[in-house]
Structures are given as C-alpha cells and as structure tokens.
Structure 1
C-alpha cells in the first residue's frame, strides 16, 4: 500500500476523527447488543476486512520468532484494550475516557526524561485527570477502573505499534492485519457470546460491521501511515488534540454535554500532551499514538 501520495498530517487528521466517531456510534449500538459483544463485533469486522484485503497469513512465514511474538502480543493488547475501552465509554463520557488514556504516556515520558518541561506536563495532566475524576468518580468507579486499564493498554499499543511499523520484515499495515486476526481470537472468549444476538439482527450486524470499519480499519491504517513518516515530536504535538476531538464528537453524536470542570480537565490534559517531550533515545520507544483507543 502506497502511503506517500498524501502528506502524513492528512492521515493523522482522518485517524483523529474516526478514532472516536466509530466508538460514538458503538455507544448507540449498545441498545441492541451488550457492550462486550459490540467490542467483539468491532474486532471481528475489522479482522475480516483486513483478511480479505491483505491476506496477512502470508506475512507469518516471513517473520522470525521475535517478530511473531511482537505481532501476537500486539493482537492480544488490541483485544483487551478495545474491550476495556468499550466498558469505560458505556459508563463515562467519551471525552473523559480519551483524556485518561494519555496519563500513562505522559508518566512514561516524565520518568524517561526528567526535565522541568515534563514535570510541568505531568502536573497539568494530574490536575486535569483529577478534575475529570472528581466529577464522576463516586457515581462511576467501575468506569474509571476500566478507563485506567484501557489507558495502560493504550500505552502498550503505542509501544508495539511503533515497533511493528518499523519492523523491516513486514509493513505496518500487514502487521496490523495479522495482529487484528490475533485480536479476534483473543477477544472471542470475552465477547462472542454477547455478540450472538446480533447474528439474527440485520441492523445490529450491519452496525457492528460499520463500527469495526470506522473504529479499527480506517484509523489504525491511518495511524500506521502517519507513524511511519511523521517525526515523533510532531506526532506527539498533533496527538494532543485527541481528547478535545473526542469531547466534540461526544457532544455532536451522543449529546454528552460536559460540565465546566470536565472541560477544564480536558483542556489541561491537551496542554500536558502538547507540552511533554520524550528523551530522544528511550528504550521503550514510546510516542503518543491513537486512542484509543484507541480506542
């Protein structure tokens, strides 16, 4: 796949919109299918599209043992991350979950590069997340527990995603396609039974496929194309807009109007992600990526 025809910033902008537009539509689907069932439908639909498009099993034979472990690990993280993310957005506003996603990334950067700039970024992030949690923690403790788990898995997704994107044995998109098949298998025991009612519901199955394409295929492919060409500092600056993007989509699609404290919390997290800077040579090769949540 030729990802050089468009500037990498364009791929990032597409990714930023679809990363949270797809989950917003998934929230609307929760009325027809249980949360974990929607998560599995998303992963399975994306895995099917990638299988038909890229035929990723052909890549497996080209990988050495380390490459295979990397792809399998990435697939497992994708499965668990998506499940935790959906459990979180079932209980919390989309913008709140998106903002919490970035806390581990900022903490890792602050630990790896102990500078005044990163200390300021960490302080901004902590205050921002505190404002977000202070509004709803008592009412939705499980929502924050799932959001925290998603945040940790999001950091792992970034680490493994960058390593796959830079693996000379496999292109980032083919590695992603193979990892998505792994994710489908890992997520099956978690959400397959909850997805069964959708199999006899044409609207539910069509919506699940749509969520998978808009949540996992479009943004993850754009992530790989952007990460492979954008300098990490530029990518980190652009990714600071993602919590704000999620908040806007939550307002427009889900009518999730944030309180003043929540708006302030998201603004502080956006500022923290924009301010923080990583050490140039960090062993974990961590750089902010999609949300994901990833997402």
Structure 2
C-alpha cells in the first residue's frame, strides 16, 4: 500500500467528522427554533425519545444479553446523557449557541486534565479557566450574559464528564452499538417525563413529531453514524483535536442561522477553551 492510499482514508474520515459537527450544530439551531413552541424540555423530550426509537430499531439491542451490573453502568451512562441534553437545551434558551457549546466542553476537558499528571497540562487548565472567566457575566470585559444560562451550560458539561466516565465504565461486556441504544433509552426515561410535565400538549402533538425526527437525525443519528465510521481510520488523538473545533462550528452556525452575535472578549474566551481542549489532546499520553 502506498503512502497516498493510506492517507486517503484519513482525509475521508476528517471530512466525515467535519460533516458530523456541522450536523450536530445545525440540529441545535433547528432545536432552538422549536423552543418558542415546545420549550427546551419538550424539544429535548422529542429529540431523545425519537433518537432512542431509531437506535433501538437499527441496533436491535435485544439480541444481546445484559447482566444486572452491566445495566446499572449503562443506566448511569444514559441518565448522564439525558441530564446533559436537558441542561444544554435549557442553557441554549438563554445564551448563544457558541458560548453554550464552549462552556459544555469544560466537562470532557476536565476529565482529560484530571487523568493527566503532566505539568504542561496546568497550562491548558489555566487557559480553560481564562476562557470561562471571560464568559462569566461577573468579568468586567464580558457582555452581560444570563448567569443562569451560563451555570446550566456548565452543568451540562458536568454531566458530559460523567457520561464519559460512565461510558468507559461500561467496558466491553456488550457491543458499543447495543450499549448506545440502551443508554439512549435511559436518557429518554429521564428527558421524556420532564418534557411531558412542562410541555405535554406539544410533545404529544403529531404535527411536531416530524420536527423532532429531524432534530434527532441531525443531532444524534447522523453524526453518531459518521463519527463511528470515521474513527475506524483515524487515531484517537486526531479525533480529539478535530472535536475541539466544535465550539467554532457552533458559533458560526449561531451567527448564520440564529442571528447571534458575540463580543470580541467572548470570541477570545471560546478560542481559549478550544486551544485548551486541543492542547490537552495533543499532550495526552
């Protein structure tokens, strides 16, 4: 195999990851457009419930055997996913998409930094802290943001961190596809009742199900499939570096489709968090 034939699958995987990120963030912009009708909880309920149905039908997890201990780990993984989605959509109702995604990224970044003992990673921690400071409404250089929205986005990041930890804990007892399908069912068990409680009429309204289906495809089914395919020909470090670009994609989608705007200090803040995420990935063992 020549060098060029080895490089081609990597380039293809990079394109797939970029498309996946665009899909996720465009799905988030579509979801935010549904908030005035179904609210963030109702929108989350539609997205997660329909995503669970799609994954169950496609992955067919009933073909595998699950132990009680395995199901408990998957339940923790899925509940974290459900709470992450709920808090993120509640945050997105109050603050711009790019800022919400950047703040949410502090979750996986914290997991990466805590698992490392390199002195250099202190630089990434300081850089991330600077980014958060510039975003916080308490900072003098930041445009006034909704503090509740900021805290909700950080909360979503916390549950993203737990999602990663519990995801690793699920081990290899069952296939990743079956684990994802069952985990999404647990996520739906968390998000769907909240959506029913806050926006019952909208969640059960068939006229909104197609919009929920579109959000589920754009935010879950399509990017999940593209990322799974891309990772077959891509080193984990390369994948992590590319994922650090997601706040930038979110910011651009917010500007183009949601007419959002950011202060220069907020652009710098997002850049700091992206740099910290990419740096921690590059220096990871």
Shorter-chain TM-score: what band?
0.7 to 0.9
| Residue of structure 2 aligned with 1:100, choices 94, 103, 112 | 103
Tell me the TM-score normalized by structure 1: 0.83
Secondary structure in 2 matching 1:92:
coil
Partner Cα distance (1:108, 1:56) in 2: 29
Partner Cα distance (2:73, 2:233) in 1: 21
Match of 1:286 in 2: none
Gaps of 5+ in 1: 282-295
CA pair 45-238 structure 1, distance change in 2 beyond 3 A: same
Structure with bigger gyration radius? 2
Match of 1:188 in 2: 192
Match of 2:149 in 1: 143
Instruction: Name the one with the larger helix percent.
Output: 2
Query: 5 Å matches for 1:29-48?
Result: 29-48=34-53
Give the CA deviation at 1:196: 2.6
- Deviations along 1:132-186, one digit per CA (max 9) or x if unpaired, are 224668551211121111001111223334555xx44433222211111121122
CA pair 5-271 structure 1, distance change in 2 beyond 3 A: closer
CA pair 231-161 structure 1, distance change in 2 beyond 3 A: farther
Equivalent pairs, count: 274
Matched, 1:49 2:54: yes
Match of 1:91 in 2: 94
Q: Considering only aligned residues, what root-mean-square deviation do their CA atoms show, in Å?
A: 2.6
Give the CA deviation at 1:45: 1.0
Gaps of 5+ in 2: 1-8
Query: 5 Å matches for 1:62-141?
Result: 62-134=65-137, 139-141=145-147
Give the CA deviation at 1:250: 0.7
Give the CA deviation at 1:33: 0.8
Match of 1:218 in 2: 222
Partner Cα distance (2:134, 2:125) in 1: 14
Query: 5 Å matches for 1:153-164?
Result: 153-162=159-168
Tell me the TM-score normalized by structure 2: 0.85
- Deviations along 1:90-122, one digit per CA (max 9) or x if unpaired, are 001010011112223333333332324211111
